[in-house]
Amino acid sequence: MERPVTSSRAAVNYSQAVVDSSAFIQPLALLLVVIAGLIVLGWKTRSVGLVAGFSFQIWMYYWLGGLIHAFPWAQLEEDEAVVIGVRYAGYAMLAFAAGAVLIAPAIGKAMVGKARGPSQPMDPGIPRRCIIYGMVAYFILAPTIGNLPSGSSVVAAGSQLVVVGFCLSAYMTLRLKGGAAAVRGLLLTALIPLVILARQGFMSFGILALSVILVFVGQFYRPRWAIAAALLALAYPGLSLYVTYMRDRTEIRESVWGGEDMGARLARIWQTLSSPEAFNPMDPAHLERVDGRLNQAYLVGEAVDNLSRTDDFAHGTSILIALEGMIPRIIWPDKPPSGGSGDLVSRFTGREFAVGTSVGVGPILEFYGNFGVPGVLVGFFILGALIRGIDFASAVTLERGQWGDFVVFMLIGISFLNVCGSLIEVTASGMASLLVGRAIRNLIAGRRAPAPAVAVA
């Protein structure tokens, strides 16, 4: 999601509205308490961190943006819209938690009952193969078959095998060799954001992939206080890296998208990394960089205002399109085009975005744009039930050594961790993940089992 360069909207001018900082306290506190509760829920139950990963993204794209607007010295636009957006995010995550607690256990058990893969001993070759398959999808298949009907979804799902492979490798290493060895094995994952940035010009994709791995490891690593301390220690360097990247993002993308060779791209990235800026919450430029990219809340607030006047709700249209998105275009060649996230955002907010501006709709805005507050509550109740159910099924199959089934559930779960995209992106990637996961499960099931390894006590 990018803030628009130019826009026009016949609506209340939120950019001129002045909101007292105290107005942010209640919605920020509610959202933070719900997110913390969901993380604790994952720690207390069988989980691979999918619920925590989704909660982390909501924190990053809604809570963090609201926090910087709450600073008394911040001179940022659209405070009122952001307050509304953070409040609705809190309502959404309450509904998400209800679904995760009330319905997800039954869904998770039903999913586990569908697991068909054999239980196998720990085999480090399995995660290595997943990583290799993912690299083949990313480096070889994406540039070749990625433009074919349904090809991009399948290739994207296949690329996520790198993430699943590192998760599985960390789990096996943790059980067989202990925490220190698992941490050392994670050092290579730091290359994921760098590779994606150098090839595609985006940092967010790599950071989110890395977050899935780290949250997964945090679910099993002991002691837990060490994980909490590490996360706190990484927060400030992470923000510093972010504002440094945003400072030079245009130049980096010119290098990547301009077709320069990989050496030139890496040199440009190194130039950025070698001149870091320490995040300063008193610096208006730093706050604007965070607000311009890590803030979905203002879009939700604008939609609440705009739709209250226009009543131009989608009434389930985009949700129906999302369900149709589960049918691959290779099977349904004449499937109607879905449009992009930006089209939905423009319709719901009444804002026209500059050509080339990337805008993600996200599930809160899309559910609200279809059915208002009831849409948000029901939609997130269902999301909470599904994500937590998949989370549970992933954990159980992991514990049982059903590595192939774990790959299936984990790939599908990762496809749901998209808080900035449209619902059709979630459903299309979820179906592609199911197909790719089943193919990998068959490969794993046919692999000759090695001698059982002895886990560390």
In a domain, 450, yes or no: no
Tokens of 93: 């995550």
Residue 359 · residue 1 · CB < 8 Å: yes
Q: How far is CA 348 from CA 61, 195, 352, 422, in A?
A: 19, 35, 11, 13
**pLDDT value for 17:** 55
pLDDT band for position 353 (cuts 50, 70, 90):
confident
In a domain, 288, yes or no: yes
Q: Is the pLDDT of residue 6 over 60?
A: no
Tokens of 138: 């990313």
Range of the domain at 429: 17-445
**pLDDT value for 267:** 97
**pLDDT value for 145:** 84
Residue 201 · residue 252 · CB < 8 Å: yes
According to DSSP, residue 451 is labeled P
In a domain, 429, yes or no: yes
pLDDT band for position 328 (cuts 50, 70, 90):
confident
Q: What is the DSSP string of 355-387?
A: TT-----HHHHHHHHHHHHHHHHHHHHHHHHHH
Domain count for the chain, please give it: 1
In a domain, 367, yes or no: yes
**Regarding predicted confidence, which is higher, 291 or 328?**
291
Q: Is the pLDDT of residue 175 over 60?
A: yes
**pLDDT value for 5:** 39
**pLDDT value for 219:** 93
> In 3-state terms, what secondary structure has residue 331?
coil
The amino acid that residue 12 corresponds to is V
Q: Is the pLDDT of residue 14 over 70?
A: no
Phi, psi for 283 (deg, rounded to 5): -85, 115
Nearest Cα neighbor of 105 from 382, 386, 381, 399 is 386
**pLDDT value for 89:** 98
**pLDDT value for 449:** 54
pLDDT band for position 8 (cuts 50, 70, 90):
very low
Share of the chain above pLDDT 90, in %: 74
Q: How does pLDDT run across 119-152, given as a tens digit for each residue?
A: 889 999 999 999 999 999 999 999 888 777 677 8
In a domain, 2, yes or no: no
Q: Is the pLDDT of residue 368 over 60?
A: yes
The amino acid that residue 318 corresponds to is S
Q: What is the DSSP string of 52-97?
A: HHHHHHHIIIIIHHHHHHHSTT---S-HHHHHHHHHHHHHHHHHHH
Whole-angstrom distance, CA of residue 367 vs CA of residue 60? 20
Phi, psi for 430 (deg, rounded to 5): -65, -45
Global confidence as pTM: 0.91
CA angle at 75 for the pair 73 and 76, rounded to the nearest 5°: 130
Q: How does pLDDT run across 271-318, given as a tens digit for each residue?
A: 999 999 999 999 999 999 999 889 999 999 999 999 999 999 999 999
Q: How does pLDDT run across 15-47, given as a tens digit for each residue?
A: 445 578 889 999 999 999 999 999 999 999 999
Q: Which residues have a Cβ under 8 Å from the Cβ of 267 and sit 6 or more positions away?
A: none
In a domain, 8, yes or no: no
CA angle at 252 for the pair 249 and 255, rounded to the nearest 5°: 150
Whole-angstrom distance, CA of residue 274 vs CA of residue 288? 22
Tokens of 318: 């985009």
Q: How does pLDDT run across 391-413, given as a tens digit for each residue?
A: 999 999 999 999 999 999 999 99
Whole-angstrom distance, CA of residue 121 vs CA of residue 139? 30
In a domain, 206, yes or no: yes
Q: How many CA atoms lie within 13 A of 109 on its CB side?
A: 3
**pLDDT value for 453:** 55
Q: What is the DSSP string of 143-191?
A: HHHTTSTTHHHHHHHHHTHHHHHHHHHHHHHHHHH-HHHHHHHGGGGGH
Q: Is the peptide bond before 124 cis (omega within 30 degrees of 0)?
A: no
pLDDT band for position 336 (cuts 50, 70, 90):
low
- Among positive and negative, which fits the CA dihedral 47, 50, 56, 59? negative
In a domain, 452, yes or no: no
Whole-angstrom distance, CA of residue 227 vs CA of residue 232? 9
Whole-angstrom distance, CA of residue 213 vs CA of residue 189? 8
Q: How far is CA 131 from CA 126, 136, 138, 168, in A?
A: 9, 9, 10, 10
